[in-house]
Amino acid sequence: MRRYLLSALCALLCCFAAGAQEPALAHGVPPTDLPSVLDISSGVTSHVQGIAVNRAKGEMYFSFTTRFIRTDMKGNVLGTIDRIQGHLGAMTFNPADGCVYASLECKDDEIGAGVAKKLGVPMWETSYFYVAIIDVARVDQIGMDPENDPVLRTVCIREVMDDYAAVVSAKGVVTSPAEGAEATPATLKHRFGCAGIDGVTLGPAPGTAVAGVSPLPLTFVSSDASSSSYAASFDHLYVACGLYGDTTRSDNDHQIILCYPLDEFKKYAQTVSFGTMHTSGPAKPWRKFFVRTGNTTYGVQNMAYDPFTGYLLMAVYRGKKKAFPNYSLYAVDLAAQPFKARLEGIPYRKCKVWQLPLAEDGLEHEASGIRGWNFQWGTTGLFPVGGGYYVFSENYRGMETGIECCRTHLMQWTGQPAHPFVPVPPVPVQKFLPPQKSMSAPL
């Protein structure tokens, strides 16, 4: 702990010595109910994929690929869901219904093979993509079985199944493997380079965000207050598609974000049985948005909407195409209006499609006009906790045990090009008190 405090202080001093300025928006009081750093051991050999925070209950949630963990703010494990036969990835928490929403991939590729080997189960013959809805209050035992239990329900993301299975040609012909088509030198597997899904978050419809305004504090709803005002501003589910990092194709240079009205989306949820996978889910998203960032390796790893800035942050593994800046963090401004335009580099999609603009913030790549940041964390988890503060995940492996672990870091948003986040100086952890009736108005 002493080593961490010293490194955090050095990082903070270095950031301001390098010219980091005060944020343009006024931050709230640093949260004293959250630990500055917290270490969690997963008990498995798969690294942390996503995190979420529930300040009202004093809890954190972690996905470790095949295991979901519920803890308190001191790291005590309150319950786990084990043997999830897929890739449980990025997640978010919705205080209005008390559920975590997380991406879940059951794939027929090397990722699926790795999961199958670790769990000793058959590999998938067909790829399925879901958003898992986890009722965290039900996760009250160690080693819970996810099958046929309402603790974990899933909704199929059928749009991604279609893009993943599609074979496309330069002439614009799109066929499906079910029709007997095979990829040839003149065709490409996986429309738009779609590799699956990962980043998940909740937020308002594009074009409606107002920076610095939140109907209720982001991570809690008081027990006696209606959650309607929160739900009205966080009533859309955003799901980011994974992208293959193939540098030889030009149709994978846009991040793809699917948007669903949350209430309608939840109606499709079913319990899971890994032997007989269901396809219950919306046939199409409400909107399918494209964001031009240049290719990234496996697409958006984690995504988070923050009402403090109005930004939808996207953490990625850097791309490798030399024509692009290959940042590790991008932001979509949800206060800006979406627009329709043709996609660059995609010969088989001639029509205009819905697109979202990147925020006019961060570093700017002169040649492409793409903006973003370089930041060391975010790909394995980030979660805004209100007032411009975030919890980030850092993955590491126990040297002696080989067990994957997660270290959380409490950070403050600056938005500055060189240092978008700085560490929050350590403070004693205090008990969090939910708001009283008089505090249910917007803060």
392-426 pLDDT per residue, tens: 999 999 888 889 999 999 999 999 999 999 999 87
The answer to whether position 443 is within a domain reads no
CB crowding 422-438: b at 16 or more within 10 Å, else e: bbbeeeebeebeebeee
Which pLDDT value is given to residue 225? 36
- From residue 278, alpha-carbon distances to 37, 100, 158, 272 in Å are 39, 20, 11, 8
Cα–Cα dist 196/340, whole Å: 24
Which pLDDT value is given to residue 148? 80
The answer to whether position 252 is within a domain reads yes
The answer to whether position 18 is within a domain reads yes
Residue with token string 């986040």: 421
Residue with token string 């030198």: 185
The answer to whether position 441 is within a domain reads no
Q: Are 341 and 355 in contact (CB under 8 A)?
A: yes
Q: Are 405 and 40 in contact (CB under 8 A)?
A: yes
What are residue 406's DSSP bridge partners?
A: 40, 395
Question: Terminal CA-to-CA distance of the chain, rounded, Å?
Answer: 33
The answer to whether position 43 is within a domain reads yes
What are residue 255's DSSP bridge partners?
A: 291
Mean predicted confidence (pLDDT) in 422-443: 49
Which pLDDT value is given to residue 222? 39
The token pair that represents 363 in the structure block: 């570093």
Domain total for the chain? Answer: 1
pLDDT in tens, 271-320: 998 878 899 999 999 999 999 999 999 999 999 999 999 999 999 999 99
The answer to whether position 432 is within a domain reads no
pLDDT in tens, 319-353: 999 999 999 999 999 999 999 999 998 989 989 99
Which pLDDT value is given to residue 120? 76
The answer to whether position 284 is within a domain reads yes
Task: Of 231-235, 242-246, 269-273, 304-308, give the lowest mean pLDDT range.
Answer: 231-235
Cα–Cα dist 436/253, whole Å: 48
Task: Domain of residue 179: give its range.
Answer: 2-427
The answer to whether position 209 is within a domain reads yes
Q: What is the CATH number of the domain that holds 88?
A: 2.115.10
